[in-house]
Structures are given as structure tokens and as C-alpha cells.
Amino acid sequence: MSKIRQKSGSGVAGIILAAGASSRMGTLKQLLPVDGVPLVARVTLHALSSGLEYVVVVLGCRSGEIRKELTKYCEHPKLSIIENNRWEQGISSSIIAGLSVVEKRFDHAMIILGDMPNVPSGVIDLLIHRYLESGACIGAVAGGNCRCHPVVFGREMYFHLHTLRGDVGGRALFDAFSQRVCLVTPDAPYDSRDIDTPEDYNRLS
């Protein structure tokens, strides 16, 4: 694993969640090609080209296969690829695994789903900028009339993220701290689709 060289409190780290078994897809969706690049690599490349100071990709199911392919496309000094041995306990375990890597050195952690191929670096940068400017402790992209990913949490939310259990993310924190949420609407149309089923994947083309 690469060492984090950033000083304490310097910027926002990204956590890409890519540990699931792709049960609804019927095949390992992390490696499905999207514009000639494996899905998880496409998501990671967008994150690496953004203003995120550090990027952690959390793998789980068949991590060896995914790591091998991911490293073909994504060699970068600010990238770390880790394995969540508890991935079967749900998405919360991957959030905690990624957070444990970055929490000592970064005051903000952005969670990015590894099955969302159309999250460009510009949207990530816009979220970083407006969230930090707002002084909020939680931020998210607003797509259409709803909240969607990526989402970002400040240090004061880290304790609450560590208490998550099962196949849940930080949705409850948006309700509990609703007065301290910054929602960011992209300046251009934003495709917030994730890829869960063969039908989802076919609609990409």
C-alpha cells in the first residue's frame, strides 16, 4: 500500500466502494468494459483526475482478479487499493475499511460508488469546492429532484460512520443532521445511474 504523504487536515480523500459480489448482475460487474475500460477502473480514473488528495479503492469479492485488472489502468501515487475481508457484512464494512485508511490524515472523506461509470472529475471537483465553501459537515450531489452520489462527510461524522452496520451507507446521517447538509447541483446534466443488472449495463450503450 502506498503511504499517504499529505499533512493532517489537507483536503478531501476519496473512498471508492467496489467490494460487492455483483449478485444481481450475474457476473463480476467491476470488470465489465465501459468504453473499453473496466467499470471500476473508469470510476477510479475519474477520481484520480479530480481534486481529491488521495483515493482508496475498497475491494472484497474476488479482489485478486479485480486488483490485477485495476492496476493495469490505474497506477498513481495517490492511489491505494485495499481489501475488505468483511465485505459480506455489507456496504457499511467497506465504508469503515476505507475510512480507517484516511481518517487520521484527512478531515473529509468522499464516498464514491464503484458501479457509477458517469461521475466525471468535474462533478467531484464541484462537490469538493461547494461543500468546503459551505462549512457543512455533509455534502452530496443533487440529481434531478433527489440526492445521489458522490457524498462527502467531515471529520465530525467519522464516529457516526464507524457505527454503521449491515448493508447500509450514510443515509441516516443526512436525516439526523439535515440542517448541516450541502446539496450541490451540477452545472450540466448529470448521469447518476449505477449498474446493478444486465439491463442497466445494456442501457449504457
Q: Which residues pair with 38 in a beta bridge?
A: 33
Q: Cis peptide before 38, with omega less than 30 degrees from 0? A: no
* Dist. CA 82–CA 94, nearest whole Å: 10
Using DSSP, state whether 67 is helix, strand or coil: helix
Q: 9: which 3 cell numbers?
A: 487536515
Among 68, 79, 60, 37, CA closest to 167: 60
Q: What is the pLDDT of residues 17-38, one digit of tens each?
A: 999 999 999 999 999 999 999 9
Q: 170: which 3 cell numbers?
A: 450514510
Helices (H), the chain: 39-48, 63-73, 91-102, 121-134, 158-162, 171-176, 198-202
- Check whether 99 has a pLDDT greater than 60: yes
Q: What pLDDT is stored for residue 3 in this prediction?
A: 39
Domain topology for 12-202:
Spore Coat Polysaccharide Biosynthesis Protein SpsA; Chain A (3.90.550)
Q: What pLDDT is stored for residue 33 in this prediction?
A: 97
Buried b (16+ CB within 10 A) or exposed e, 118-151: bbeeebbebbbebbbeeebbbbbbbbeeeebbbb
Buried b (16+ CB within 10 A) or exposed e, 30-40: bbbebeebbbb
Q: What is the pLDDT of residues 41-79, one digit of tens each?
A: 999 999 999 999 999 999 999 999 999 999 999 989 999
Q: What is the mean pLDDT of the chain?
A: 92
* Dist. CA 188–CA 49, nearest whole Å: 19
Is residue 178 within 8 A of residue 165, CB to CB? The reply is: no
- Check whether 6 has a pLDDT greater than 60: no
Domain ranges for the chain: 12-202
- pTM listed for this prediction: 0.93
Q: What is the pLDDT of residues 106-126, one digit of tens each?
A: 999 999 999 999 999 999 999
